[in-house]
Structure 1
Amino acid sequence: MAATIFEPLVPLSIATDAIKPGRKIYIDGIPTGESFEIDLMDDEQNIAIHFNPIFAKEQVVMYSRLGGSCKQERRITEDFPFEVGKAFNIGVACEEKAFVITVNRHVVYEFPYCMSYEEITNILIDGKVVLSAVGLDSELQPQSDLELPNPFLMGLPPMVPGQIIRVEGMPQEGRFAINLTTGPEASDDIAFHFNPRFDSGNVIVRNTRVAGKWQKEERDLPGECEFSFKIGKPFKLAIICRECDYEVMFDGVLLLTFKHRLNYEYVKYLLIKGNITLTAVCVDFERKAPVSANYGLTAMKPVRSIYLEGIPTANGTNNQFSFSLQAGKNGNGTKALFFNARIHDKVLVMNSQLDGAWQKEEHHEIPFKIGERFKVIISCYKKEFRVSVNGNERTEFEFKHRMDCQVIRDLWVLGDVAVLEAYTDLAEINTE
Structure 2
Amino acid sequence: MTFMPPQGYQSVCNLCIPYLGPINGGLRPGMSIYMQGHLPHHMKRFFCNLQCGEMEGSDIALHINPRFDGWDKVVFNSFQSGTWQEEKIVHMMPFHKGKAFELIIIVNTEGYQVNINGSEFYFFYHRLPVEMVCFLNIGEEVTIQTLNIIGVSGNQDLAGGYRLRPCLLCVQSVPYLDFIPAGMTPKRTIIIRGMVPYGANRFTINFKVAGSDDIAFHLTPRVMEGVVMRNSYLEGYWGEEENDINFFLLSSPSVSLCPCSVPCLSQISIRCGNRRYKVYVNGQHLCNFRHRIHPFGKVDRLEIIGEVQLSYIHF
The TM-score bracket by the shorter chain reads 0.3 to 0.5
| Structure ranking higher on relative contact order (CA contacts 8 Å, 6+ apart) | 2
Structure of larger gyration radius: 1
**Higher-strand-fraction structure:** 1
